[in-house]
Every structure is written in structure tokens, then in C-alpha cells.
Structure 1
Amino acid sequence: MTETGIHFLDARGPDGMRLYAIGDVHGRHDLLAAMHRRIESELEYAPSTDWRIIHLGDYTDRGPDSKSVIDFLIEAQKRNPRNLMLAGNHDLGMLDFLADPDPDGLFMRYGGVQTAQSYGVDLTGDARWFGKAEAVRRGHAALVDAVPQAHIDFLRSLQFSVIFGDFFFCHAGIRPGIPLESQNPQDLIWIRDAFHHHPGLYPKVIVHGHTPVPEPEVLANRVNVDTLAWQSGTLSALAVNGADKRILAVQGKRFDP
């Protein structure tokens, strides 16, 4: 890609449409609800002709209340379809585990135990009696029973990307040199180094999460709003109103490892 793309400083949202892009939630229902309250207050105080709230994926795992996060997002979408939800690798990892309980897969290794707990299921408690593989098999059966079909349908419905104005929204990033419309879904939810290290501009400014940073990264070609909310207690978002771009943040309890 050449320097003929869009620079963040020049990027604009669609005329008359306010955009909000919320970073990785990872089970922090408290922070997600707080961010929505903040956005709703903004829209009430300074109404906009139109708006979109774009959630950048990774609703599940690691944090304490993935079930309530999914309930919240389903209700938000029912209330107003201008609430948009994109797929993250952890969200699809939950679907993968429900279909095939790999004891060493993403879900079991990176926070799925906490997700299961939010549905009232202990995936590891029987390990000392039956061994890990059998404990996971038993826990998987209980989790399949506990997860509502509406949650499965929600996870299956998630889009991989959306475009508004000069901004392309996805979970992880894009593959440099590939047209936006031809991006591989695996890259959109997993990519890191090739995307992060690309120095040139893209056809749109890429707004993403997936890779935790101490504070939002605002670069010429991309914006990263994953501030490790589940642990840091800070959930971040990018707000766009025409040419005006701002970072929003809400604070809550911190969980130290």
C-alpha cells in the first residue's frame, strides 16, 4: 500500500452520523454497561441525526461475567439495530469449544474457564478425580446444556468487519496489501505483527482491538482501543463525529493477576 491512503488526522465519519467503537470487553459487563450509559448521555445531551455503536469483539473469556455481556448485547441489538457487534477470536473460540471440547484449545487455555463459570459450570473441578480430559468432557456437556440457544445464535451472527466513512472496523486488523473487501476472516480476528508493523497508510483508518495496550494507540493508519479491560478496569472507545475524533474511557474495578 502507498501513502495515498487515509491519514487519521484527515479521516471523517459519515455526515450526520456519530460513531462509537468499543474495545475488547472480555466478560466485564459492568464496564460495558457503564460505557453505554456514557454514550447514551452524550447522545441525549448532544443529539445526532444518526449513530452507530460498534463493538469490536471478544465479549467472552477471562473476565467474570461473559454470560451477562452476551445478554446485554443481545438486548441492545433488539432495542436498536444501530448497535453493531463484530466477531473476536475468543467469541468464535467459544463456539469451537461448544462444538468440539479441545482440552488444550483457545477456550480452555485463555479464559474459557471463567466464561463457563458465568453460566454456572465448573470445567476443572472434577480433574483431580477423573483427569483433565474427562473433567473437560463432563464440563463441556454441562456447558452445552447451560448456554442458551440465543447466545449460540448471537455468536454465529457476528460480522467480521464494517465500514463507515473513512474508517474500517474489525477485531484484530487487516493483511497489508490485500483489498479491504478481500480480507481473510482469520486475519480480521487474529492478525498482529504484519498489521502492526506496516508503516504505510491504508484505504481506510483501521479501528481495532485484540492486542492489549496500556492506553489507546492512535496512529496515522490505525487506532487500537483494547486497554485490557478485564484486568485493568479501563474500557476504551473511539468516538467519531465528522472530523472530530476522541477517545472515551470508563473505569471500574481492577483485577491484578
Structure 2
Amino acid sequence: MNTLTQRRGDAPRPQIPAGQRVYAVGDIHGRLDLLIPLLAHIRDDIGARAHADNHVVLLGDLVDRGPYSAETVEYAISALPAFATFHVLMGNHEEAMVRAMDPMEDRSENLWLKFGGYETLASYGVPVATLGDELPPIEALRHHIPERHRQFLENLPDAIRFGDYVFVHAGVRPGIALEEQNPSDMRWIRHEFLEHRGDHGAFIVHGHSISTEPDIQPNRMGIDTGAYRSGTLTALGLEGDRRWLLRASVVDGEVQTKLSSLG
């Protein structure tokens, strides 16, 4: 694992350092019912491959929109399996949730409820039927949301690097060195990043922007397949210069997993 300093090389494809294997999981959005079988699928995939130092990166947006946000945060804090080292990144939805509980923030500008906060509050036992369009008082939020959940979320990192790959929730701003990226961009950026085809100083693996299939470009790959609405949670496996996809999907009411190669 490296810091976010720029790495230059002439390898034809980005590489994970020798001896390491990395899995990145797209936006979960409260779909713990998909995350648990996907992680079991990753565990089995690890067991079928040669020994390596295994890492799993959750790309942020654990909360909102889906039904099990509180349970997903608790799982990330206390129940992640031991078959790999886990890294959980900050997403824009975690940022909005944390800001809603911060008395120093301007809560009038926080649109958390409008893009998933209701579902998260419901998962924490907040009586959302009584809410209007405004955030509940901070005291009410802190009554329902455990302090250790708040502390966990507010201390999540924005990015992590393995070899030629940088993992981040939303993306990076083109033309800015990786070590100088603004946290807000890494959590929220969309079009400027998605439309850029030049070099970022690393190959970027990200979520945030939904696509039916993984969005594979020469300089980046997006793996947010909209689990909360599509019923498919996607992971990317990386080792050396090899890539493969793992998925957990609801099919006819049951969760099924699938493995496919990217060459």
C-alpha cells in the first residue's frame, strides 16, 4: 500500500504490487443483504487462488437509499470477516450524514434527506413519517444514531493506493496532482472526471456514478451498478495486471453470485 504520490512507469497495463490482491466493492447503499453474500463470494474466490496479501476496499456510500443503512455501518465497524484487510472509504452520502450531526455546519444547505437520508433515519429507528423537509434536530439524530457510528463515519479516509491503482469514491479532478486533490472532489465530482480521457497519475477505481455494467475506460473504472435499485452489487478483483468481476444479484427473489473475467 502506498501514499497518493504519483507513480510513473512504462507498463502497458496498471499493476497491483507483487504478492498483493485487491478487491474493490461498489456503492452498497444499505444493501447489506447483497454485501454479505458478495463478501462470501470474494472469500471463496480467494480460496481458489494462490496465497496473497488480500485487501478489500469498500468505495463509500454504505448508507442511504437501501433498507439496511444502520446495519451496514454496524457490520463495517464490528463484523467484517477476517479473510482480508478491509479499507472503508468516505462517500458523499457519509459526508452528508456526518454534516447533519455537526452543530458547526450550515444544515440549511444539507440535502441529505432529499437523496437518501429518510431511509437511513428509518433504519436507525427515527419515526420518519413525522418528518417534514427539514433535518431533525441534532439532539434527535444523536439520540438514535450511536456515537461510535458517527465517529467511524467522520474518520473514513478519502482514498487509498495500491501500485498503479488509486481507489476513491467519486473520482479526482483532472490536472490536479493526486496528493493535492480536494476531499470534496473525491467524494462528489462527476462530469469533469467522467469525461476526461487523459492520465490522472494512476488508474482510478471509483463508484458514485451509476452504470448498468462497469464503466471501463483507459484511465478509470466505475463499478457502481446501482445496488439499491438494480439489486446487483459489483466488486472488481485485481492481481498483477489481471482484472475480474464478482457480483451478487437478486434473481427471482434469491441472491446469486457470478464471476467473470476482464482479461
Task: Sort the TM-score into its range (normalised by shorter chain).
Answer: 0.7 to 0.9
Residue in 2 that maps onto 1:137? 136
2-structure distance, mates of 1:188, 1:102: 21
The alignment's TM-score, normalised by the length of structure 1, stands at 0.87
Deviations 1:88-112 (A, max 9, x none): 0000111111225846622111110
Question: Residues 28, 9 of structure 1: CA spacing in aligned structure 2 closer, same or farther, 3 A cutoff?
Answer: farther
2-structure distance, mates of 1:193, 1:108: 23
Q: Look up the equivalent residue of 2:21 and give its one-letter code.
A: R
Residue in 2 that maps onto 1:229? 227
The 5 A counterparts of 1:67-86 are 67-76=70-79, 79=82, 82-86=85-89
Please point out which of 42, 57, 60 is paired with 2:45. 42
Residue in 2 that maps onto 1:151? 149
Residue in 2 that maps onto 1:243? 241
Aligned CA-pair RMSD: 2.5
2-structure distance, mates of 1:18, 1:88: 23
Shift of 1:220: 0.4
Residue in 2 that maps onto 1:107? 112
Question: Residues 19, 220 of structure 1: CA spacing in aligned structure 2 closer, same or farther, 3 A cutoff?
Answer: same
Q: Look up the equivalent residue of 2:239 and give its one-letter code.
A: N
Task: Using the TM superposition, name which of 141-150 and 84-93 deviates more.
Answer: 141-150
Residue in 2 that maps onto 1:163? 161
Deviations 1:170-210 (A, max 9, x none): 00001111111111101100111111111212221000000
The 5 A counterparts of 1:18-33 are 18-33=21-36
Residue in 2 that maps onto 1:14? 17
- Give aligned pairs, total: 245
Residue in 1 that maps onto 2:130? 125
Deviations 1:42-99 (A, max 9, x none): 1222243201100100011100010111111112458578100010000011111122
**Would you tell me which structure has more helix in proportion to its own residues?**
1
Question: Residues 47, 74 of structure 1: CA spacing in aligned structure 2 closer, same or farther, 3 A cutoff?
Answer: farther
Runs (4+) of structure 1 exceeding 3 A deviation are 4-9, 76-81, 100-104
Residue in 1 that maps onto 2:258? none
Instruction: State percent identity of aligned pairs.
Output: 36
Please point out which of 215, 219, 237 is paired with 1:217. 215
Q: Look up the equivalent residue of 1:119 and give its one-letter code.
A: Y
Q: Look up the equivalent residue of 1:99 and give its one-letter code.
A: D
CA contact (8 A) 2:43 2:83 kept: no
2-structure distance, mates of 1:187, 1:94: 17
CA contact (8 A) 2:17 2:162 kept: yes
Question: Residues 199, 163 of structure 1: CA spacing in aligned structure 2 closer, same or farther, 3 A cutoff?
Answer: same
Are residue 90 (structure 1) and residue 90 (structure 2) matched?
A: no
Shift of 1:253: 6.7
Task: Using the TM superposition, name which of 195-204 and 21-30 deviates more.
Answer: 195-204
Shift of 1:247: 1.6
**Would you tell me which structure has more strand in proportion to its own residues?**
2
Task: Using the TM superposition, name which of 160-169 and 101-110 deviates more.
Answer: 101-110
Question: Residues 57, 8 of structure 1: CA spacing in aligned structure 2 closer, same or farther, 3 A cutoff?
Answer: farther
Question: Residues 225, 254 of structure 1: CA spacing in aligned structure 2 closer, same or farther, 3 A cutoff?
Answer: farther
2-structure distance, mates of 1:239, 1:22: 9
